[in-house]
Chain A
């Protein structure tokens, strides 16, 4: 709760209503594409979950300007991303880095899929004969089936 307070006040702190949304000019299509990809994958730090590309916040415009400036300086994508991570941490990346702490995140789905595959395989293979169904239940099922069409 102690930490929620500053967050609430941050919203107040950004008291300036003016927003920013300057279009950029690019030297070529490749740079423009790189810019769009970077702006979409970087997070606006002061917003409620928006990328740099979609945010109208002042800080987002500042960071967009930085990305644009660095692209024109000829920096690589890794350098630009590294610049921001140095200052703001991994939080600024919408594509989380692959590291020790995020290994479960990146490999978890694969493990889950393999696990599901194992389950699927074993359930489809040699099935032990099922427990004999309850005779009343079996009769009731048979009666239901007889009383209407079974197709599809």
Chain B
């Protein structure tokens, strides 16, 4: 009887390892899903005098896209964002993360600006509160300011079609 135990344990181990092959060990899921977006007070990228705070995110579901001019992967998703803003009328707010105003403005000029607005976060404070660990990242925030989804890495058409678009549609429906 005891001779079967090692084999049994091994079978369990192999199953675990096989499942593990499909997972990404470096992906960090966000603990902020279904929690309210954090409070913050920062300035607009375009206007150092204009303040922006959490309440400006309320009222309608939107995407919050974390980007920076020094981020090479951001360039990969940027055309998709521009198109989403234009064609699908998606509201995208940018979070310019640990950047300078000049570099950020120049980058937007060169690659297009899909953002209704960009928040300027030079020290990454809001990024820290959002649990940002690698740009680009995109959050889906609902009308009440609750985070509903987090995309780590560039946004792809598949993720848009399969995850975010249906989610935004659900969030847009008026609650009873």
A positions within 8 Å CB-CB of B: 1-7, 9-10, 12-16, 45-46, 48, 58-59, 62-63, 66, 85-89, 91
Contact = CB atoms under 8 A, between A and B. Distances in A.
A9 B154 contact: yes
B171 interface: no
Contacts of A5: 153, 156
B159 to A, nearest CB: 8
Contact of B128 (A3, A10, A46, A87): A87
B59 interface: no
Contact of A13 (B24, B29, B73, B128): B73
B48 interface: no
Contact of B133 (A1, A3, A45): A45
B27 A6 contact: yes
A13 B133 contact: no
A12 B73 contact: yes
Given A10-B73, A45-B133, A59-B133, A89 B30 contact: yes
B146 to A, nearest CB: 15
B28 A45 contact: yes
B32 A87 contact: yes
Contacts of A66: 128
A30 to B, nearest CB: 26
